[in-house]
Structure 1
Amino acid sequence: MRHDSLPIRHVLAELLAVLDGHGSAVLTAPPGTGKTTVVPLALAEAGMRVLVAEPRRLAVRAAAQRMGVSYSIRGERHVGANPMVEVVTTGVLLQRLQRDQELAGVDAVMLDECHERHLDADTALAFLLDVRDTLRPDLRLLATSATADAEPWSRLIGGPVVAATGATHPVETVWAPPARPVAPPHGLRVDPALLSHVASVVRRALAERDGDVLCFLPGVGEIAKVAGMLDGVEVLQVHGQAPAHVQDAVLAPGSARRVVLATSVAESSLTVPGVRVVVDSGLAREPRTDHARGLGSLTTVRVSKASAGQRAGRAGREAAGTVYRCWSAADHERLADHARPEIALADLTGFALQAACWGTPDASGLALLDPPPPAAMSAAARTLEALGALDGASRVDGASRVDGASRVDGASRVTDRGRRMALAGVHPRLARALLDLGPRAAEVVALLSEQLPRDAGDDLVAVWRAARRGGTGFAARWRQEAGRLRRTAAQAHDATPPAPHTEHIPHGRTPDDEVAGLAVALAFPERVARRRGGGYLMASGTQAQLPEGSKLHTAPWLAIAIADRPTGSASARIRQAVEIDEETARLAHPTTTEHEITWHVPPGGRHGDVLARTVERLGAIELSATPLKDADVREAILYGLRTEPDVLTWTKQARELRDRLAFCHRAVGAPWPSMDALIDLADQWLEPELSRARRRADLERIDVAAALKRLIPWSERLEQAAPERIEVPSGSHVRVDYSGDQPVLAVKLQELFGLQETPEISGVPVLVHLLSPAGRPVAVTADLASFWRDGYRSVRAELRGRYPKHPWPEDPLTAPPTRRTKERRP
């Protein structure tokens, strides 16, 4: 292949010199300059064996075919004419590094499109930097980026930036927003009106410009919908699920004009011949992980400015081109500059296992542009411990460098089982099922290791049987991956000790349902679910719902393979599942048996009661419960008293006594106790009733008034400190109300004639409520002397007319107090 016509030729000499002098470099080059295919061959011509890592399988095959070199992707290897260069996915590179840290026979590694910030690429670079620092100082490292923001990479990799500019073809931007507002994306939902608009923009581009059209859409479903709106033109659909023959057709020049509908896989590392026009929907898909529930999903987001620039560049790879952006220039200014790196968004279980196998379980020893989020790493560690990949040792503060072992303070963190899981080439969850069940699980694991067709139903066994029938691109890929996993399982299964909770799994011939159920349950033990009400309760505690009309809705137990939680929904949505039985659930997820003694309020109820039982649980799922006799229920009783004060029968007598005691505490203080925290004093006043209480009814029968008397200090007399009644001048003994902040004496005005000073209790003046002969309040005072002097005259004038038979003397201080009317004259 000749490279003297491509812009990259101007920096090849500089790049080789930098690599010779520093051992590492960052190469920035715009799309179409030849960095992906020219640079590896130039390094090979300089005598180096080169390993090129690409983020996507599609890019691996395309680059290898253009260079005529070997390539390796998961489950497929091709030997090319040039033995000096091999192209691999970053996932394959990670597997090689775990097997052979020295990368024997490799002189240089080129990580292409590092600006995309895929997790595997970030991890591979961190491992390579570790290898270079400790084992292979001669290993040359080259990171390439299509964006100019390379300084962070330069600092990380320890090498200068080599910038290739060259002549680039101009790309005209046409702003083509919808005429009417469309709904923003929500979860996986894209407004159909936007898709209709994108299709109309494609038709407009075909009419206004020459050349093939490359249209970017967020996902497979949107590609299919837009394809259905385009007639009279050849349409190719490019995505991660596209069969090899479609990928080959896209990479070959077409005989007629074409429209290529693609996801983000076509943003970089890929030249589609003949493309002069790009139509960009402005949308992409990003992972989202609910670490608390162990659920992951994809969500539709606006592209970043950097991604939009990458997409536009596809139109200018071979000649001047045009990009039609389905949004306005004003909206473009509001886009984020860069997409968030995958390490900040994704499930980190696989990354955590790779890091643990490398010798740094918390990833603190890895050179990463962005550290992994602590919550995501903690969730990943818990998952790996449950899968038997980590030994559950105490959390770490540091780790050894590359030395063939994973050590922290002398203790191994990753198990032998975990190492085999890491080398299986699938997610650790799926590797667990493969190791436990052996080759018979290969087909199910292969099914779950690929993105299922968008029309796949929720019954995973039915999807499996459809794949066996073949006839689709997915089925062909599935069969190839199943073969690879079958070989991997056969090599690893015999050498892997069974997990303690799976040693009783039968290993003979079993029906599809049993194999699928076991595999899914072992891979996702926290998603084992039991039917409850109209849905299912997972072992994780998350509620889940099947789609309407699902044939699985009668299953008492499910092993849920794929589930997500729609934005704003409290329940998970079951995408694919298998019916299982309780025995399978128990094999996959450890059960616990514990004594449960609580104060339990039933759902929707207002009143609780003591619940004492022995409960067997599978995670959050209750399997069985039996009453627990002779249990110590004291703490439950106390909790009930704290949360439901009305559980005690507070008679009027009890309330009045409590109020009197509270007054004594306010007025006198010690040794009178406070009534604000009666439950804290339960040992003093509720014994022995508390020791005998077993349930709510026992509490309701307690004589609270009698019990409260136990709080009266032995050295005090309640009648002296807070008398129940006070004798007034008329001779009546009137009850005092202590329920307020100040004691209240409600008495008929005439019974206080002659009383000059306000009565006091424990030094506190009472608040006198003066009543009419009918018992209605006519005045309130805390100063009787002032009332007789200033207020009595107006009250007397009013009451004389209303109650003429009662005495209303002009001088109340000299009049005799009375409870009666005037004496009748003979």
Structure 2
Amino acid sequence: MPDPLERLLAHPPDLPVAAGLAAVTDAVRDHGTAVLLAPPGTGKTTLVPPALAADVGGRVVVTQPRRIAARAAAARLAHLLGEPVGRTVGYTVRGEQRLSAGTRVEMVTTGVLLRRLQRDAELRGTDAVVLDEVHERHLDADLTLALLVDVRANLREDLRVVAMSATVQAERTAAVLGGAAPSPVVSVPGALHPVHEVWCPAPRGVQPLDPRGVTPAFLDHVAACVRRALDDAAGDVLVFVPGAGEVTGLVRRLAGVDADVRPLHGRLSHREQDLALTAGPRRRVVVSTSVAESSLTVPGVRAVVDAGLAREPRTDHRRGLAGLVTVRVSRSGAVQRAGRAGREAPGTVYRCWSESDHARLSPHPLPEIATADLTAFALELACWGSPDGADLALLEPPPAPAMTAARTTLRALAAVDESGSVTARGRVMAGIGADPHLARALVDGAPLVGARRAAEVVAMLDADVRAPGGDLVAALRGLRRGGEEAREWSRTAGRLLDALPTTTTAPAAAEHRHPAAHRHPGADPGGRLTDDLAVGLVVALAHPERIARRRPGGTTYLMTSGTGAAFAPGEAALAGLPWVAVADADRGAGRSDATIRSAAPLDEALARDAAPSLLRERSTVTWVDGRVEARRTTSLGAIELAAETVARPPAHLVVDAVRQGLAQDGLAALPWTASAVALRRRLDLLHRVLGGPWPDVGDDALLAGLDLWLGPDLARIRRSADLARVDVVAGLRRLLPWPAAARLDELAPERVTVPSGSSIRLDYEPDQPVLAVRLQEVFGWRRTPRVADGRVPVLLHLLSPAGRPAAVTADLESFWTTGYPQVRAELRGRYPKHSWPQDPLTAVPARGVRRTGGTSST
């Protein structure tokens, strides 16, 4: 009986790639690797694997980025062979397998191959691997490519590897895949029919996106473009929208058109997917996500309507949020989508944006490694024995901040140790075949809520099931009632249950077990947590950083990560509950709080159990309204659970608080006596005039050196009243330089003795020292006194007998000559009992009224 693969290759379908098959097999035979560059629709997924299998005489494993693509590729090739799926051609996707002992070509998702490599790095029983659609740059595809290069270099030199790409970046892949020398690149030109472009920008005022996602008005516009395509073009219409929610919304808007409207996305049942991928008796409108962009064949399409939007992973490490965001499609993505209209005949693409907008699109989509949450990626690296991936041939290195965040998460989950090496618990989690957060929820949730319930909740989270009103408990009850969506969920739950170890090998699981669950207020009479709290607990185990408590007196929440969150308007099913576990929240573009998309009820006791690593008890001493406030707090991440006042807090915390308070409120908070102010001003003058070693006593300098001059006093503070007893004068004196300090009174004296014998305080104003003295007390003083080693004259405020300034001068000699006669003339009649000599330089100074003797005042 002839080999079915040989029979197919002897008379291949009329596909462009047929002309390049010999070049591919020759390159693989000579070099062990090859890169095939061919546009979508050239038949590379259909013909290259059979050619390679026939050449190597063994089994070929072909990766596809999505389950729907793996199933469809296997079905198409099996149809060409005239066989059922599972004989010569089969597939393996998560939770489903159709193979036999005679299978030669196996279609798998990239994740399935990654699991195989981790279990058996030599890939025993596999002779060649074909990596399809590598241009999409999915994270697991980049990693799988790197691991295969490592396997070829160290374990299986005979393993053939072919990478197939639809873009001109194939040379980069060839350089990585080839190792020491680049892999040969085989180019196959496409044979697409011409595609006419029609620009269909939205009406004025209609925006594609707002903070909540794709706007209803824009979906109305896309629906109008579909109706136009049905009127203008022949054949089926393929519509691209970003996500499953938009698929559903557009299908609803197209009700009543003269065509069969078929949704297409990864959440649908096999039957619904097959309906979208099979030509029918009537015209069809296939409304699809990006799954149909390059890895699927949708027959009969003559027109493409492109909404111009795509979903890409984004991670906000600051807020602790990761998920998919809606962005503008790239130009290369738009070209691939348009090409779907020209696979079988000339076609038309209707682009829901303007030609000028098209010019501003980014050339290519960002690779997932640059934007995605890298927690699962980091766990795979740890399991492979390369925690940082530095020795692997990655197309580009992962961003350092994202890897740091991923390793921190894995350490918190006890999946890796401090060195980054995988733990036994980490291997269990990796073997679950789910995101590490969900794997942790399954492993730790099973002993708390029961293995079946834990698997059901994790399967629901893994499928990203739409929760009515954001209520995941309602979503779980809906799945249990059955339906199309429930079948896939049930299969996933069964697979997760089978993957769960019969005995817990995770050492941290016991730490999360709820104490005396049967006494919990949320337990049913049988001692089990109700579904409401069971779902909340599993969600909290998956995402402890998203445990949230309602803020006092409001409707918004604070998550343990420190991010604020609120339910979307109109989704009031859970709004107002004291505690919730958030499964999905977007980054809240343009808003201070994130928007909660799905959550489940929780309480404080379960929150503590779900996130024991976030529990903190600490003493805090802060400066509040000019006083020291000491509290002992218990917190779950950023959420404060309890607080009490501490009578005698630790001294170092008090010092820190006072330091922060003084930096915040300024030095005025200290008890500045007149003596302290005077001393500071004296030191300030000497520093400004003489410089070192006299200290800088400005605000900035004193705050910076607080420990140096006030350290001993701050250490004795226990409450705000103690601050009032700080001796600022003593503190300033600690700054005095030795031995220059002995000259302080000489260089900046506190008092000056005037000719009358009085000792008068010198006021050190910021600009110049001032001496306020009665005019009669300085008779005979010929020159102005000076300070700071004679460099700064004192500003004399010469007072009248009533104590009012009669003259202000820093040049006493000039004053006696020019100013005094005028002052004498003005005041002698007003104060006749006081001395007003004509010659003040020879007059006897007097403290009070001069009644007799002395120099005549006439």
Q: TM-score range by the shorter chain?
A: 0.7 to 0.9
| Residue of structure 2 in register with 1:571 after alignment | 593
Aligned partner of residue 154 in structure 1, secondary structure: helix
| Residue of structure 1 in register with 2:85 after alignment | none
Give the AA of the match of 1:66: R
CA contact (8 A) 2:622 2:657 kept: no
Structure 1 Cα separation of the partners of residues 456 and 228 of structure 2: 45
The alpha-carbon deviation at position 583 of structure 1 amounts to 3.0
The alpha-carbon deviation at position 545 of structure 1 amounts to 2.7
Give the AA of the match of 2:473: V
Provide Cα deviations, 1:700-741, integer angstroms capped at 9, x if missing partner. 134545765677779737544433333445666543221415
Provide Cα deviations, 1:403-453, integer angstroms capped at 9, x if missing partner. xxxxxxxxxx11122112112111111111222344321101101111222
1:62 aligns with 2:62: no
1:479 aligns with 2:490: yes
Q: 1:679 to 1:344 in 2, by over 3 A?
A: closer
Structure 2 Cα separation of the partners of residues 594 and 32 of structure 1: 58
Provide Cα deviations, 1:790-819, integer angstroms capped at 9, x if missing partner. xx46x9779967997479999876788789
Give the AA of the match of 2:470: D
1:180 aligns with 2:211: no
Give the AA of the match of 1:448: L
Aligned partner of residue 601 in structure 1, secondary structure: strand
Q: Return the match for 2:672 from 631, 634, 650.
A: 650
Q: 1:321 to 1:623 in 2, by over 3 A?
A: same
| Residue of structure 1 in register with 2:428 after alignment | 420
Structure 1 Cα separation of the partners of residues 631 and 669 of structure 2: 18
Aligned partner of residue 658 in structure 2, secondary structure: helix
| Residue of structure 2 in register with 1:408 after alignment | none
Aligned partner of residue 227 in structure 2, secondary structure: helix
| Residue of structure 2 in register with 1:447 after alignment | 460
Provide Cα deviations, 1:769-802, integer angstroms capped at 9, x if missing partner. 556758777876544445667xx46x97799679
The alpha-carbon deviation at position 195 of structure 1 amounts to 2.8
Structure 1 Cα separation of the partners of residues 490 and 71 of structure 2: 19
| Residue of structure 1 in register with 2:37 after alignment | 28
Q: Return the match for 1:209 from 219, 226, 233.
A: 233
Give the AA of the match of 1:206: L
Provide Cα deviations, 1:171-201, integer angstroms capped at 9, x if missing partner. 1112222342544635552344433332222
| Residue of structure 1 in register with 2:98 after alignment | 78
| Residue of structure 1 in register with 2:718 after alignment | 694
CA contact (8 A) 1:278 1:312 kept: yes
TM-score by length of 1: 0.88
Structure 1 Cα separation of the partners of residues 824 and 239 of structure 2: 95
Q: Return the match for 1:633 from 651, 659, 671.
A: 651
How big is the alpha-carbon RMSD for the aligned residues of Structure 1 and Structure 2? 3.5
The alpha-carbon deviation at position 25 of structure 1 amounts to 0.8
CA contact (8 A) 1:188 1:300 kept: no
1:160 aligns with 2:171: no
Structure 2 Cα separation of the partners of residues 770 and 629 of structure 1: 52
Structure 1 Cα separation of the partners of residues 707 and 219 of structure 2: 71
The alpha-carbon deviation at position 762 of structure 1 amounts to 3.3
CA contact (8 A) 1:49 1:85 kept: yes
| Residue of structure 1 in register with 2:382 after alignment | 356
Q: 1:779 to 1:259 in 2, by over 3 A?
A: farther
Aligned partner of residue 598 in structure 2, secondary structure: strand
Describe how 1:271-670 pairs up with structure 2 within 5 A.
271-393=297-419, 413-438=421-446, 439-440=451-452, 441-453=454-466, 456-471=468-483, 473-489=484-500, 491-493=501-503, 499-502=509-512, 509-533=528-552, 534=554, 535-548=556-569, 550-590=572-612, 596-602=618-624, 606-611=625-630, 613=632, 615-626=633-644, 628=646, 631-637=649-655, 639-641=657-659, 643-644=661-662, 645-664=667-686, 666=688
The alpha-carbon deviation at position 525 of structure 1 amounts to 2.3
Aligned partner of residue 193 in structure 2, secondary structure: coil
CA contact (8 A) 2:658 2:714 kept: no
Q: Return the match for 1:124 from 135, 144, 151.
A: 144
Structure 2 Cα separation of the partners of residues 343 and 570 of structure 1: 27
Structure 2 Cα separation of the partners of residues 462 and 88 of structure 1: 34
| Residue of structure 1 in register with 2:81 after alignment | none
Query: Structure 1 residues 21-30 or 38-47, which shifts more?
Result: 38-47
The alpha-carbon deviation at position 503 of structure 1 amounts to 5.1
Structure 1 Cα separation of the partners of residues 94 and 717 of structure 2: 67
The alpha-carbon deviation at position 595 of structure 1 amounts to 7.2
1:196 aligns with 2:207: no
Q: 1:460 to 1:783 in 2, by over 3 A?
A: same
How many correspondences in the alignment? 798
1:768 aligns with 2:792: no
Give the AA of the match of 2:235: G
Q: 1:808 to 1:15 in 2, by over 3 A?
A: farther
Give the AA of the match of 1:446: A
Aligned partner of residue 445 in structure 1, secondary structure: helix
Give the AA of the match of 1:456: P
Aligned partner of residue 5 in structure 1, secondary structure: coil
Provide Cα deviations, 1:62-103, integer angstroms capped at 9, x if missing partner. 111111121121112224897211111111111111122222
Query: Structure 1 residues 502-511 or 109-118, which shifts more?
Result: 502-511
The alpha-carbon deviation at position 338 of structure 1 amounts to 0.8
1:736 aligns with 2:762: yes
The alpha-carbon deviation at position 380 of structure 1 amounts to 0.9
Provide Cα deviations, 1:743-769, integer angstroms capped at 9, x if missing partner. 233557786666442211232323425
Structure 2 gap ranges (5+)? 1-7, 79-88, 519-526
Identity %: 52
CA contact (8 A) 2:623 2:657 kept: no
Structure 1 Cα separation of the partners of residues 246 and 659 of structure 2: 59
Query: Structure 1 residues 324-333 or 62-71, which shifts more?
Result: 324-333
The alpha-carbon deviation at position 203 of structure 1 amounts to 2.1
CA contact (8 A) 1:254 1:274 kept: no
Describe how 1:3-22 pairs up with structure 2 within 5 A.
3-22=12-31
Provide Cα deviations, 1:675-720, integer angstroms capped at 9, x if missing partner. 3455787788768755543111111134545765677779737544
Structure 1 gap ranges (5+)? 396-412
Provide Cα deviations, 1:635-691, integer angstroms capped at 9, x if missing partner. 523540463233322233432233234435555677765534557877887687555
Give the AA of the match of 1:141: V
Give the AA of the match of 1:652: A
Provide Cα deviations, 1:496-554, integer angstroms capped at 9, x if missing partner. 55634135666985432343233222222232333332333333333333445634345
Q: 1:762 to 1:595 in 2, by over 3 A?
A: farther
Query: Structure 1 residues 73-82 or 34-43, which shifts more?
Result: 73-82
The alpha-carbon deviation at position 316 of structure 1 amounts to 0.6
Structure 1 Cα separation of the partners of residues 563 and 843 of structure 2: 79
Provide Cα deviations, 1:298-333, integer angstroms capped at 9, x if missing partner. 222111111111111111111111112222222222
Aligned partner of residue 511 in structure 2, secondary structure: coil
CA contact (8 A) 1:154 1:160 kept: yes
Aligned partner of residue 253 in structure 2, secondary structure: coil
1:149 aligns with 2:169: yes
Q: 1:608 to 1:3 in 2, by over 3 A?
A: farther
Query: Structure 1 residues 128-137 or 686-695, which shifts more?
Result: 686-695
The alpha-carbon deviation at position 207 of structure 1 amounts to 2.0
Structure 2 Cα separation of the partners of residues 775 and 26 of structure 1: 101
Query: Structure 1 residues 801-810 or 531-540, which shifts more?
Result: 801-810
Query: Structure 1 residues 721-730 or 212-221, which shifts more?
Result: 721-730
Structure 2 Cα separation of the partners of residues 178 and 67 of structure 1: 41
Structure 1 Cα separation of the partners of residues 142 and 608 of structure 2: 38
Q: 1:242 to 1:809 in 2, by over 3 A?
A: farther
